[in-house]
Amino acid sequence: MAKQEDIFKNVVSHAKEYGFIFPSSEVYDGLSAVYDYAQNGVELKKNIREYWWKSMVQMNENIVGLDAAILMHPTTWKASGHVDAFNDPLIDNKDSKKRYRADTLVEDYAEKLNQKAEKEIEKAKARFGDAFNREEFVTTNARVVEYLSKKEEILARLAKGMTDDLQDVKALIEELGIADPETGSKNWTDVKQFNLMFGTKLGASAESAMDLYLRPETAQGIFVNFLNVQKSGRMKVPFGIAQTGKAFRNEIVARQFIFRMREFEQMEMQFFVRPGEEMQWYHHWKETRLKWHLSLGLGKENYRFHDHEKLAHYANAAADIEFNFPFGFKELEGIHSRTDFDLKAHEEYSGRKLQYFDPELNENYVPYVVETSVGLDRMFLAVFATSLQEETLEDGSERTVLKLPAVLAPTKAAVLPLVKKDGLPEISKKIIEDLKWDFNVAYDEKDAVGRRYRRQDALGTPFCITVDHQTLEDETVTIRHRDTMKQDRVKITELRGIIENEVSMKNWLMKM
């Protein structure tokens, strides 16, 4: 099996070679952790967004959409806690001048202890075979016990240092002898907090300009509009407001391609509920969101929940849906029970009431909120990386195929005249003229037809329609299925129905 890193490298290069994702401003050597979506990427991304929007907004009578501005009144970010608490603890190496997240350095160290323990476990497993009892081994083997208890102790001290005193985090780094991963130097500065928000200015003159931030999340645009939407839409609790849009974070350790970017897109929904009913809705949305992911058919084994033990200041329950990315299980979506923290904070800072009159209870209250928040770019990476496959065919040849869920594929069908003459291009174009009202379709007449099939496989196109000499006689074509490579001879008039059946959002969302 190919190594994880190789698979990931392949994902990045395929995305570039086939026009999905380019580094931003590449002619100037790019901008770190910023990417552009190319001709095929923009279609895939749009389809994922639409798939989310349809399932959240169109299919739910009590959820409506919103498109709030990226720039917001700066007090928003005081109230939300981002000005004071949206920080990463940073440490610099004085020799190499490299900057790191102090907590990540310690976590990586702890993870190495974990790996050492795992190695011992694997060795023992190989030795004892079927008789191996993992639980017993982990609690009795002296080495494993030592590695794991040391790991726990380090993580506990890190957590305490992060909340109480960052100097303790530095002391921990020194005590463990953690070195700069790139140079080996142990000459560290103090740990300092670094705010992740990008600042900008509104206004022309230096004196009158107002300091603003690019929003680090879309959620606050929903909270400040809560009452406007509730009143103008005559919404009744429970109801939700959904939004997709750009968010900006000055991430320090921005690697792993589009997994962690400085400019990214979120798809968020805030669901407003009666106080006391939030847990039931939290569980409802956890399950519903997982079902949405599973409906895409990327494999149940690739998802897991991670319930948070340590909660953010605004939450009374939180979980991540983690996905098995090429570099391991990582957060894809967060589901948070945010209490009434945000609306109350905006009441306090704005001096306005943000309350709902519940006609059934005959009382006013600040609703509680359950949030679902998924990164569109991370979704893209999950779908793209899992779909990219290398296959060995029966004749021993290899093919690269992007097995995207057909509903998300950028191009639904490619129409290919077998040869560039005898009127076949003309018929192909007529087919395109007809289908393009409903689907994204492509035309390709260059190279031998086998090579054209392979190119469409690599682009993730679910169908190839080939026009040949028989078409001239009986108005039939062959339709080739990407995943099975099976070809059927069908009437031109049947094409729309065949494609529709496989790509319609309805058919996919019904699997939820």
Q: Is the peptide bond preceding residue 238 cis, with omega within 30 degrees of 0?
A: yes
Query: Is residue 71 annotated as involved in ligand binding?
Result: no
- Residues 203 and 72: beta-carbon distance below 8 Å: no
Question: Are 411 and 440 a contacting pair, CB within 8 Å?
Answer: yes
Contact 231, 237 (CB under 8 A): no
**Which residue in 331, 422, 434, 500 binds ligand ATP (CB under 6 A)?**
331
Q: Please, what's the largest Cα pairwise distance for the chain?
A: 82
Of 267 and 495, CB closest to ligand ATP: 267
- Alpha-carbon distance 370 to 379, whole Å? 21
Residue whose CB is less far from ligand ATP, 373 or 387: 373
Number of C-alpha atoms within 13 angstroms, CB side, residue 385?
Answer: 26
Residue, CB closest to ligand ATP: 375
What is the sign, positive or negative, of the torsion defined by CA atoms of 43, 45, 49, 51?
positive
Q: Which of 101, 170, 249, 480 binds ligand ATP (CB under 6 A)?
A: 249
- Closer Cβ to ligand ATP, 334 or 462, answer by number: 334
Identify residues 40-59 at the interface with ligand ATP (CB under 6 A): none
Three-class secondary structure of residue 40 per DSSP: helix
For 509, the token pair is: 């969302």
Chain residues 206-245 in contact with ligand ATP, contact rule CB under 6 A: 217
The annotation status of 375 as a binding-site residue, yes or no, is yes
DSSP assigned state of 194: E
Among 43, 278, 377, 457, binds ligand ATP (CB under 6 A): 377
371 is in an annotated binding site: yes
251 is in an annotated binding site: yes
Pairing of strands 328-339, 317-325: antiparallel
Identity at 311, one-letter amino acid code: L
Would residue 387 be called left, alpha or beta, if left means φ above 0 and alpha means ψ between -120 and 50 degrees?
alpha
Residue 17 assigned to a binding site: no
The CA-based dihedral angle spanning residues 484, 486, 490, 493, taken in that order and rounded to the nearest 10 degrees = 30
Nearest residue (CB) to ligand ATP, 12 versus 424 = 12
Give the 3-state secondary structure of residue 432: helix
The piece of 150-158, 167-175, 340-348, 372-380 that touches ligand ATP (CB under 6 A) is 372-380
Pairing of strands 441-443, 413-417: parallel
274 is in an annotated binding site: no
Paired residues of 374 in beta bridges: 267, 333
| Stretch 160-189: interaction string toward ligand ATP, x if CB under 6 A | ------------------------------
- Identified binder of ligand ATP from the candidate list 45, 346, 378, 480, rule CB under 6 A: 378
Among 374, 459, 477, 495, indicate the residue that binds ligand ATP (CB under 6 A). 374
Closer CB to ligand ATP, residue 70 or residue 124?
A: 70
Q: Is 5 annotated as a binding residue?
A: no
**Which of 180, 333, 468, 502 touches ligand ATP (CB under 6 A)?**
333
List the structure tokens of 284: 């409802």
**Minimum CB separation from ligand ATP for residue 321, in Å?**
8
Q: How far is the CB of 153 from ligand ATP (least distance, A)?
A: 23
Q: Using CB atoms within 10 A of its CB, is residue 25 exposed (0-12), middle (13-18) or buried (19+)?
A: exposed
Question: In the set 251, 347, 358, 500, which binds ligand ATP (CB under 6 A)?
Answer: 251
**Binding residue ranges for ATP:** 249-251, 259-264, 331-332, 375-378
Q: Enumerate binding residues for ligand ATP (CB under 6 A).
A: 217, 249, 251, 260-261, 264, 266, 331-334, 373-375, 377-378
**Binding residue ranges for substrate:** 101, 217, 264-268, 371-375
